[in-house]
Amino acid sequence: MTDPTPERAASSSAVEKMLAVLEAAVGATRFSSIVAATGLPKGTVHRILAELSEHGYITPTERGEYAPGPKFLSLAGKAFERLDISGIAKPFIDELGDQVECTVHLGVLNGDEVIYVHRRDAAKAYRMPSRVGASVPLHSTAIGKAILTAFDDDAVRTYAVRTGLHPQTPRTITDAARLVGEVAEARERGFSMEREENVPGVACVAAPITDHTGRVTHAVSVSTLAIEHTTQQMIAMAPRVIAAARAIEAALGAPTTGGPTTDVE
């Protein structure tokens, strides 16, 4: 393999600098912050910002700051229109399924419910009663309670009043205070659980997924027969579920700092 030519090396360096400035300009608004984030000379940053502005990728504001430009927003919009979280998450879900040898679900928040958008069956003689496209309550499922961890306590109470916490099985949580407490515990440990709260004989463990905006919109869960795995065995699976959720988040471009949020009343 031959070494790159000086021209190619210079071109690569120029592209890297421009991408660094663009990324910094999208995340930081002031010139000084962009310089600090890139570590490039002020003159270089100023020149690149001028070029990006000329081509519509960033827009200088009246306050002397920078914002994403129309060309950048147009490209971002087209990219998100084509975003297929099921396709992005599939390799991580497959890996998780191989690790735990259980059924894995990916669900998306839809109002007061979760809709299953992907399912990976385990190589077992039985099949979970779930199906892609089916909706399940937040309060009676591990995957739903994982999403509820992005709600604050008041929002969980509001959800409880709004829905009435209808029982799915005799084990379903129907008390608002108990739900708030369980969600708080799940929020602290990073995963949620349920045993026969939504379907008799089924146990699940789940973790929330934060999207590129910093909001919890999805969750991933592992489901098994309650007689096959004890509570402690389900807890032992949790780190793998959390790791899968974090891998999916990284693939979605989720923020690496700050807590997850969700738009709830």
pLDDT at 33 over 70: yes
Of the options 3.40.50.2300, 3.30.450.40, 3.60.21.70, 3.40.50.10860, the CATH number for the domain spanning 85-252:
3.30.450.40
Task: Answer positive or negative: Cα dihedral of 98, 100, 102, 103.
Answer: negative
Query: Using CB atoms within 10 A of its CB, is residue 18 exposed (0-12), middle (13-18) or buried (19+)?
Result: middle
Single-letter amino acid code for the residue at 245: A
CA pair distance 4, 206, nearest whole angstrom: 47
Model pLDDT for residues 135-161, shown as the tens digit of each residue = 899 999 999 999 999 999 999 999 999
CA pair distance 262, 144, nearest whole angstrom: 13
Of the options 3.20.20.70, 1.10.3720.10, 3.50.50.60, 1.10.10.10, the CATH number for the domain spanning 6-81:
1.10.10.10
Tell me the pTM.
Answer: 0.70
Model pLDDT for residues 8-29, shown as the tens digit of each residue = 444 458 888 888 888 888 766 7
pLDDT at 61 over 50: yes
Query: Using CB atoms within 10 A of its CB, is residue 147 exposed (0-12), middle (13-18) or buried (19+)?
Result: buried
Model pLDDT for residues 208-249, shown as the tens digit of each residue = 999 877 889 899 999 999 999 999 999 999 999 999 999 999
Domain segments of the chain as ranges = 6-81, 85-252
pLDDT at residue number 82: 53
